[in-house]
């Protein structure tokens, strides 16, 4: 499972060791009862899709309360601009490029585009060690409530370390948020019960049953992915709010869907407190890719249900709106209440972080790095860069690309014409000014670094497409691909 990996010693690494050592001492007492873990992964949850992350429209009092109790990350990322690769990374601590799970399953294909996408992997192989398997081996009871989206029945969560699976299957979205949900492994639907509430009810029931032993609740809500839906009275509230003011985000149904997540977070926090488990439970709340700001095809741009301003674009794009996500971590005794961290964190980091939480020792040799030092207040981790690789097309505007972020710099390499774009995120969060020409040495250095990383993880590359036809390049499967997909399930 662990890959050979070497890191250069550095001051930051030394500091990390100091922090880790400081962390180990108090953990020794808690060894008898490692912390419970509740990991909310919200589908398509954009960077500003909560009041405490900048939304003026969406009302999220419970998430905002979690922010005041935990640590908020301003520079958290998903490992991919679409969902399945992020989920695979979260489960394994490995980059999508290494796993060859680089698009949502079953993916978006444009047979006449300039580039041909590689033959990538459409499930999480059973040979991979998931964080659920790793925690289970250390005495945790494990459960998933919500979306899995990492392959067909043979690859379902119950084969990847989860004792309980409610809702996890090959689907990337529910048929509907009110019954029938159209999800094979959700039984006994209650008439009128919103899917987010249903999953919350089951998750709380699981925590009650397992309150006397360490548990890992992986809670990848189906919300806030399409099909857009909400409770009628909540939609009505947002319609009135929108009629009375001016907002960047303008969809009342999406707002209600976001609020269903806030209800879930609130209900879980309340029950944990009632069960007197909240002092020994880590809560993580993040998203699997950027908010759906829109789609593009030959006919032009079509706005989506949310916006990620000030970030550029959203889900399925190469820019910050596609991968920067909200992140809150509440770990009583470790995270300082109401603290904010600007340390870049990405999906591969959760496996080593949670393993360190459970055992007191960080997992080594994975693509990800434990963020425990950051949770204790360190201003940096030992790695110097994080990476993305998406050799695919997406209606969110992406053409095949790779990207690297090092410090404030971000370089994107687009494969169609081999050009790079360079942005300084500190001065230009919206990626408006491409500095590749004016900062050519920096661009060249980052390009070399990105190329080396791609080679090191065995990334699959797109190739020249012999069937390329400029008149038909937009044709393909997917919501904005021109042709109806039919077979593929949406990301």
Q: Which residues bind Ca ion (CB under 5 A)?
A: 43-44, 83, 288-289
**Nearest-approach distance from CB 215 to Ca ion, in angstroms:** 25
**Residue found under tokens 């050519």:** 440
d(CA 54, CA 390): 28
Nearest residue (CB) to Ca ion, 330 versus 490: 490
Nearest residue (CB) to Ca ion, 46 versus 214: 46
**Nearest-approach distance from CB 44 to Ca ion, in angstroms:** 4
d(CA 168, CA 43): 13
**Nearest-approach distance from CB 477 to Ca ion, in angstroms:** 17
Partners of residue 403 on adjacent β-strands: 388, 412
| Secondary structure (3-state) at 410 | strand
**Nearest-approach distance from CB 109 to Ca ion, in angstroms:** 18
Nearest residue (CB) to Ca ion, 83 versus 132: 83
Q: Could you tell me if residue 303 is left (phi over 0), alpha (psi between -120 and 50 degrees) or otherwise beta?
A: beta
The contacts of residue 218 (CB under 8 Å, 6+ apart) are 39, 41, 131, 132, 142, 143, 144, 145, 162
The DSSP secondary-structure symbol of 29 reads H
CB-side exposure of 97: number of CA atoms within 13 Å? 27
Nearest residue (CB) to Ca ion, 120 versus 453: 120
Question: Which residue is nearest to Ca ion, using beta carbons?
Answer: 83
CB-side exposure of 118: number of CA atoms within 13 Å? 19
Do residues 450 and 272 lie in contact, with contact meaning Cβ atoms separated by under 8 Å?
Answer: no
Q: Where are the beta strands (DSSP E) in 357-430?
A: 386-390, 401-406, 409-414, 419-424
* Token pair recorded at residue 280: 């020994």
Nearest residue (CB) to Ca ion, 44 versus 369: 44
Nearest residue (CB) to Ca ion, 265 versus 277: 265
Partners of residue 145 on adjacent β-strands: 166
**Nearest-approach distance from CB 91 to Ca ion, in angstroms:** 15
Pairing of strands 300-303, 386-390: unpaired
Exposed, middle or buried: residue 250 (CB in 10 Å: 0-12, 13-18, 19+)? middle
Backbone angles phi, psi at 179, to 5 degrees: -60, 145
**Nearest-approach distance from CB 172 to Ca ion, in angstroms:** 7
**Nearest-approach distance from CB 225 to Ca ion, in angstroms:** 6
* Token pair recorded at residue 31: 């060894």
**Nearest-approach distance from CB 87 to Ca ion, in angstroms:** 8
Nearest residue (CB) to Ca ion, 224 versus 363: 224
């Amino acid at each position: 499972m662990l890959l050979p990996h070497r890191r250069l010693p550095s001051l930051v690494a030394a500091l990390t060791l100091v922090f880790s050592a400081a962390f180990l001492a108090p953990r020794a007492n808690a060894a008898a009862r490692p912390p419970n873990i509740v990991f909310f992964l919200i589908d398509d949850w954009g960077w500003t899709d909560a009041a405490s992350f900048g939304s003026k429209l969406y009302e999220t009092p419970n998430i905002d309360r979690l922010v005041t109790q935990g640590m908020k990350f301003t520079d958290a990322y998903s490992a991919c601009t679409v969902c399945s690769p992020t989920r695979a990374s979260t489960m394994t601590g490995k980059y999508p490029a290494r796993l060859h799970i680089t698009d949502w399953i079953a993916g978006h294909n444009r047979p006449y585009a300039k580039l041909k996408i590689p033959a990538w992997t459409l499930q999480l192989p059973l040979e991979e060690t998931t964080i659920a398997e790793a925690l289970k081996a250390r005495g945790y009871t494990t459960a998933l409530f919500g979306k899995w989206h990492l392959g067909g029945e043979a690859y379902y969560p119950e084969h990847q370390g989860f004792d309980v699976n409610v809702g996890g299957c090959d689907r990337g979205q529910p048929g509907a948020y009110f019954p029938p949900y159209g999800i094979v492994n959700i039984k006994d639907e209650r008439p009128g019960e919103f899917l987010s509430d249903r999953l919350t009810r089951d998750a709380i029931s699981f925590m009650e049953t397992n309150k006397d032993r360490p548990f890992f609740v992986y809670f990848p809500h189906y919300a806030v992915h399409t099909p857009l839906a909400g409770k009628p009275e909540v939609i009505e509230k947002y319609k009135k709010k929108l009629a009375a003011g001016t907002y960047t985000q303008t969809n009342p149904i999406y707002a209600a869907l976001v609020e269903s997540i806030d209800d879930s977070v609130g209900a879980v926090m309340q029950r944990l407190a009632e069960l007197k488990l909240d002092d020994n439970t880590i809560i993580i709340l993040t998203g699997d890719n950027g908010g759906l700001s829109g789609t593009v095809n030959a006919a032009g741009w079509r706005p989506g249900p949310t916006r990620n301003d000030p970030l550029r674009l959203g889900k399925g794009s190469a820019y910050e709106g596609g991968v920067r996500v909200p992140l809150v971590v509440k770990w009583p005794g470790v995270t300082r209440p109401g603290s904010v961290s600007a340390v870049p964190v990405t999906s591969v980091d959760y496996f080593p972080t949670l393993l360190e939480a459970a055992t007191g020792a960080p997992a080594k040799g994975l693509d990800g790095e434990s963020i425990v030092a950051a949770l204790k207040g360190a201003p940096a981790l030992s790695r110097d860069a994080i990476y993305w690789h998406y050799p695919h097309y997406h209606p969110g505007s992406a053409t095949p690309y790779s990207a690297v972020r090092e410090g404030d710099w971000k370089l994107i390499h687009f494969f169609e014409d081999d050009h790079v774009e360079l942005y300084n995120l500190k001065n230009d969060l919206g990626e408006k000014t491409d500095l590749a020409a004016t900062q050519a040495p920096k661009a060249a250095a980052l390009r070399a670094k990105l190329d080396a990383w791609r080679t090191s993880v065995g990334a699959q590359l797109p190739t020249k497409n012999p069937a390329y036809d400029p008149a038909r390049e937009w044709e393909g499967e997917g919501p904005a691909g021109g042709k109806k997909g039919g077979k593929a399930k949406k990301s």
